[in-house]
Structure 1
Amino acid sequence: MKKVLLSGCHGQMGHVLQRLIADKPTFEIVAGIDRTAKKNDDFPVYTTIDDVKEEVDVVIDFSHYSSVPTLINGCVAKEWPLVVATTGLTTETKAMLSVASHVIPVFYSANMSLGINVLIKALQAAAPALESDFNIEIIEKHHNQKKDAPSGTALLLADSINQTLTTPKEYLFGRAGNDLENDFNQMGIHAVRGGSIPGEHTVIFAGADEILEFKHTALSRDIFANGAMKAAEFLINQKAGLYSMQDLLA
Structure 2
Amino acid sequence: MKVALCGAAGRMGRTLIRMLVNEPGLELSLAVEAPHTPLEGRDAGEIAGVGRIGLPIRGAEKLEELLAEVKPDVLVDFTVPQACVENVKKACARGVDVVVGTTGLTTQQAREIEEAVRKAGVRAVVSPNMSLGVNLLFNLLERTCARLKDYDVEIVEAHHATKRDAPSGTALKMAGIIEQIAGKKPKIHSIRAGEIVGDHTVIFAGPGERLEITHRAQGREAFASGVIKVLKLLRERGKPGEVLSTEEIFS
TM range (shorter): 0.7 to 0.9
- Partner of residue 113, structure 2: 97
The 5-angstrom pairing of residues 1-250 of structure 1 reads 2-35=1-34, 36=37, 37-41=40-44, 42-44=54-56, 45-48=58-61, 49-52=63-66, 53-102=69-118, 103-132=121-150, 134-165=151-182, 168-170=183-185, 187-237=186-236, 238-240=238-240, 241-250=242-251
One-letter amino acid matched to 1:229: I
Which protein is bigger by CA-based radius of gyration? 1
Any idea what SS the aligned residue of 1:43 has?
coil
Q: CA RMSD in A?
A: 1.3
1:101 is displaced (CA, Å) by 2.9
**Contact 1:60–1:232 (CA under 8 A) maintained in structure 2:** no
Structure 1: any 5+ residue segments left out of the alignment?
Answer: 171-186
Map Cα deviations across residues 124-180 of structure 1 (whole Å, 9 max, x no partner).
011021112x10010011111112111111111111122212xx223xxxxxxxxxx
Any idea what SS the aligned residue of 1:197 has?
coil
State the alpha-carbon separation in 2 of the partners of residues 214 and 72 from structure 1.
34
Q: TM-score, normalised to structure 2's length?
A: 0.87
1:33 is displaced (CA, Å) by 1.7
**Contact 1:57–1:236 (CA under 8 A) maintained in structure 2:** no
Map Cα deviations across residues 209-238 of structure 1 (whole Å, 9 max, x no partner).
011110000000111111111112222333
State the alpha-carbon separation in 2 of the partners of residues 147 and 15 from structure 1.
18
Any idea what SS the aligned residue of 1:95 has?
helix
Structure 2: any 5+ residue segments left out of the alignment?
Answer: 45-53
How many equivalent residue pairs? 230
Larger mean CA deviation between 217-226 and 34-43 belongs to 34-43
Q: TM-score, normalised to structure 1's length?
A: 0.88
Q: Greater helix percent: which structure? A: 2
